[in-house]
Chains A and B, each alone.
Chain A
């Protein structure tokens, strides 16, 4: 079964403002896809289209299709919560719930109907372990997540998203609020996640995109200017605009 994300002729307007214009993109499975571009080019909006997070913003209109498992996620008979369960998201700022570390990871499991306490605690431990957080928080699982450092909080948010076993993980500038060493840990984690999940990351940081991603898309003023293999895009961009951007002429 093909669980690729295929974006077809996607346009998005917010009120009277055209934010995304006719985006066509095919996202590869079990790879890291980076979306880069200057501020306000619509990269976060594009990412949020993929799990219909933009539904929460009033006056947003979406045209075109996003196919997931060959089904349009904007079709009328689609259950949005089901989409968001399969396509997890990590946000720009760490946003753990003001609950205990355990409850944060267990939140998704509980709302998705896992009642078995043993299963919940097992899943919490393995996901925390996968995110390299278990060692650090083992003896304070039941203390508030707010006491963790920023980097730990962000890894907790990743663990929270992983706990419900999504197929795709969307990351919206996950390191922009973090220091270099925390950033390094999260990038390490991303490389590990690639083996099991399809990862799409929006980043402001071109070095990060070059370091971690397999495929990169360059978005400018709501249009996908260039999309292709990361190495090729960074070394030999086809478009003049891309070249200007990655060489730091604007953005």
Chain B
């Protein structure tokens, strides 16, 4: 027995075993998220169930499970949609009460702009009091029309009215700051000219609003009648329909292309209906932008700290205390950093900036409220230890002989650092950055009090100067997961979105890291040290 232990073989098995367990857990995690998250875009068949109380239920089967303590009995969870009619999206049906099950070919899934999916049969188009029959193929041009209408409405709302509002706000602030000055001829003249411009804008604004009202009115004109499972009829304006399809007649190819389309919508579109429908593009954009700003802030801070610790101080009590403190920063709960960010960055620095540069907008804060810049800086503080440690390691791995070669040629300490040590330490620095990015992309708690919101009206990057709006609030995938899964009005229907969003978060972090890793490996081959 002792002999076997002394060979060391059991330890190989032990370490190999723990590695296997770790790998299995990682794969299990990713597999679970992919399994749960990737399924939601697949168009499921619509089932029609006749129950023994003579009622009919129509919907997608989402789960079948055994009833506890009852042998051979099951219950089915159906997504019945029509939240506006039934009040909830899901319904449990006891399998013993099912008389018959059917997959009617004409059953339709209707994706709506509001109230989630509707399941039913298309009766026809409504003209005053009569119903004109309509096939699914006939719906296509109508839907196209309504999509164009929707686009033009969005364009007016977001772009045109947005532009007017942007200008009006500018004039309002200009007026405010002019009115504060001592009245003189020139200021009065300026005020008058601005007021004329504002009036002009207001006229434009009312025009646009009238335009919008007309568009909305025309949107309500065309309606279809949908027959629900229980035979009742619902009138639905075509404008409300995003997509209408008959999953029971779709083949694998049709379903696959539908799936791709839906997935693309998910990553490229804005969220709808309190984030439970639509896409997550603003959240992806916010996450990536925040991580990039964070890296820009954390790299110089961490690298310079490490350079100082490694190159400019000797090993004394001071440097040891600094090093211990920096390392311990990594263990501070992240919400503490959030509170610090709120108190220092937002209220102190942001408030100061507001007083100095945006005083005319006060008491409405510009920088003195949560925003992407403050969130990024807070996370930069949070991740600074990672960069410091990695950079220190990178610097200490630079061979002494290289430094001596540089000094021997009459280089100063700074020149040696800048031209020999830092380039050589770049892979280490980038490793630190990669770890920092991964940490920052997944952090949610400090963001919640420094600038993340459920729904940001605009991205931190747009076409109004100065194009990058660091003071804006933003959306973040991590927070989005929490919000969709647990704060939305329709938690049950949105739950699959949690997994999908998680998947997107993982892929976003992966993509960011991959870029950094490729850069690092390129540099590593460039700065390969002597084999001798």
Contacts and interface: CB of A to CB of B under 8 A. Distances in A.
Interface string A40-65: 00000000000101001010000000
A141 to B, nearest CB: 16
A146 B405 contact: no
B486 interface: no
A82 interface: yes
B98 interface: no
A95 B410 contact: no
Contacts of A164: 409-410
B412 A81 contact: yes
Interface string B143-180: 00000000000000000000000000000000000000
Contact of B532 (A89, A93, A97, A112): A93
Contacts of A108: 409-411
Interface string B405-438: 1111111100100011000100000000000000
A68 B163 CA distance: 75
A94 interface: yes
A74 interface: no
Give the most central of B399, B403, B409: most A CB within 10 Å: B409
A98 B526 contact: yes
A200 B529 CA distance: 28
B409 A53 contact: no
Contacts of B403: 56
A157 B405 contact: yes
Contact of B408 (A58, A89, A112, A177): A89
A81 B411 contact: yes
Contact of B314 (A58, A89, A144): A58
A158 B405 CA distance: 11
A168 to B, nearest CB: 12
Contacts of A89: 404, 408
B409 A91 contact: no
B435 to A, nearest CB: 24
A85 B404 contact: no
Given A98-B529, A111-B411, A160-B405, 17 more contacts: A58-B314, A81-B411, A89-B408, A91-B401, A93-B530, A95-B404, A95-B530, A97-B406, A97-B420, A108-B409, A111-B409, A111-B419, A146-B528, A146-B530, A153-B532, A161-B408, A177-B532
A68 to B, nearest CB: 14
A84 B408 CA distance: 6
Interface string B311-341: 0001000000000000000000000000000
Contact of A95 (B402, B526, B527): B402
A222 B526 CA distance: 42
Interface in A72-93: 81-82, 84-85, 88-89, 91, 93
Interface string B466-493: 0000000000000000000000000000
B70 interface: no
Nearest to A88: B408
B424 A95 contact: no
B182 interface: no
A53 B404 contact: yes
A160 B532 contact: no
A107 interface: yes
Contacts of B406: 97, 107, 111
A93 B530 CA distance: 10
Interface in A105-139: 107-108, 111-112
A157 B404 CA distance: 12
Contacts of B404: 53, 56, 89, 91, 95
Interface range on chain B (Cβ under 8 Å from partner)? 20 to 34
A86 B108 CA distance: 88
A98 B409 contact: no
B532 A94 contact: yes
Closest 8 CB pairs of A and B: A85-B410, A95-B401, A108-B409, A89-B408, A84-B410, A98-B527, A81-B410, A95-B405
A97 B401 contact: no
A51 B407 CA distance: 10
A98 B532 contact: no
9 contacts: A81-B412, A85-B409, A91-B404, A108-B410, A111-B410, A111-B411, A144-B526, A161-B408, A177-B532
Interface of B: 314, 399, 401-412, 415, 419-420, 424, 526-532
B522 to A, nearest CB: 13
B410 A53 contact: no
B530 A111 contact: no
Contacts of A174: none
Contacts of A81: 410-412
B411 A97 contact: no
B254 to A, nearest CB: 56
A113 B529 CA distance: 26
A89 B404 CA distance: 9
Contacts of A161: 408-409
Interface string A160-196: 1100100000000000010000000000000000000
Given A58-B314, A107-B419, A111-B419, A82 B410 contact: yes
B410 A94 contact: no
A45 to B, nearest CB: 14
A118 to B, nearest CB: 21
Interface string A200-224: 0000000000000000000000000
Contacts of B412: 81
A93 B411 CA distance: 20
A37 interface: no
Give the most central of A58, A91, A98, A146: most B CB within 10 Å: A98
Contacts of A157: 405
A191 to B, nearest CB: 22
A94 B411 contact: no
A146 B410 contact: no
A150 interface: yes
Given A95-B401, A146-B530, A146-B531, A53 B408 contact: yes
Contacts of B424: 98
Contacts of A53: 404, 407-408
A56 B407 contact: yes
Given A58-B314, A95-B402, A150 B409 contact: no
A146 B526 CA distance: 10
B409 A88 contact: yes
A51 B408 contact: yes
Nearest to B415: A111
B410 A91 contact: no
A115 B405 CA distance: 21
A172 to B, nearest CB: 10
